[in-house]
Amino acid sequence: MRETDGGRTIGIATVHLVPLTGILSNDSKKFKAYSVYAWGGPFVVTSVSALLFFLPERYVAAGVVRPDFGVNTCFLDGDLEYLVHFYGLVGALFLVNLLLLGHTIYMLFRAGAAFNCCSKTESPRAFNRSHLDAYWQRFSLFTLMAVCWVTEVLSWKIPPAGMWIVTDLLNSLQGLVVFLIFLSSKKKRHLVVEFCQKTGFLARLFKCDSKALSPT
């Protein structure tokens, strides 16, 4: 979805010469759509896996791979189960994101051609290159996802486990890294500062810390 949004924004704004103010004004609708995608997809996958796990054997068609949670390990049972219910889904989603990223890069080339053709007749504001920062932010998120997911799949079959400590740590801290990537945008930094000022979040946090550290 990140790559879809980046390609859509760049394509409409620069290739089709539509002002960016109208594109970026529906952030609320995009957030709702992305929330449905981000939460709905895992919910469907989890529901299907749980259904296959709890259904009696007689209700499951022959050849369907059941997850068999907790049979031999605390997670999936064997390699086939891992492939069907975990790594296969990860690989498919990564491939889709890779295709969407390629489409966004293609739209960037088209945007550059459109800018060269129209720069003499159109206002440069229609081709505000500062909005390409949104693309690079999404590219950074995609790179983070690629590193974490590819190394996760490789660690499945390439020993020793200790070799993947660094990438496992990066995967565990992925939320923090994503937050730092978003803070690279001045607009989002201002939103965070504004939130802290309005809610007094930092003041309450330091107040709680001072109480915890004070002697009883």
Specify if 44 maps to a domain. Answer: yes
Range of the domain at 87: 2-157
pLDDT higher at 132 or 164 = 164
Residue 200 is predicted with a pLDDT of: 72
| Res 119 pLDDT > 70 | no
Residue 23 is predicted with a pLDDT of: 44
Long-range contacts (CB closer than 8 Å, 24 or more residues apart) made by 74-83: 82/156
| Res 106 pLDDT > 70 | yes
Long-range contacts (CB closer than 8 Å, 24 or more residues apart) made by 92-101: 94/145, 94/146, 94/149, 94/150, 97/2, 97/3, 97/142, 97/145, 98/146, 100/3, 100/4, 100/7, 101/3, 101/139, 101/142
Specify if 204 maps to a domain. Answer: no
Residue 102 is predicted with a pLDDT of: 82
User: Please, what is the average pLDDT of the chain?
Assistant: 76
User: How do residues 8-42 score in pLDDT, each as one tens digit?
Assistant: 554 444 444 444 444 444 666 777 887 888 899 89
Specify if 189 maps to a domain. Answer: no
| Res 117 pLDDT > 60 | no
Residue 89's Cβ-side half-sphere holds a number of Cα atoms within 13 Å equal to: 12
Residue 80 is predicted with a pLDDT of: 92
In this structure, the chain runs to a length of: 216
- What's the structural domain count of the chain? 1
Specify if 17 maps to a domain. Answer: yes
| Res 114 pLDDT > 80 | no
Residue 131 is predicted with a pLDDT of: 60
* Residues of the chain above pLDDT 90, percent: 16
Specify if 185 maps to a domain. Answer: no
User: How do residues 34-70 score in pLDDT, each as one tens digit?
Assistant: 788 889 989 999 999 999 999 998 898 888 999 989 8
Specify if 209 maps to a domain. Answer: no
Specify if 165 maps to a domain. Answer: no
User: How do residues 120-141 score in pLDDT, each as one tens digit?
Assistant: 554 444 445 556 677 788 788 8
Residue 128 is predicted with a pLDDT of: 53
Residue 14 is predicted with a pLDDT of: 44
Q: What is the pTM of this model?
A: 0.62
